Amino acid sequence: MPKVVMYSTGVCPYCMMAERLLSQRGVTTIEKVRIDLEAGRKEEMMARTGRRTVPQIFIGDTHVGGFDDLSALDRAGGLLPLLAGEPSETTNK
Q: Where are the domains of the chain?
A: 4-83
Beta strands in the chain (DSSP E): 4-8, 31-34, 56-59, 62-65
Amino acid in the structure at residue 78: G
* pLDDT tens digits, one per residue of 31-69: 999 999 998 999 999 999 999 999 999 999 999 999 999
* 4-83: CATH topology: Glutaredoxin (3.40.30)
Average pLDDT value for the chain: 92
CA 64 to chain centre: 6
What's the predicted TM-score (pTM) here?
0.89
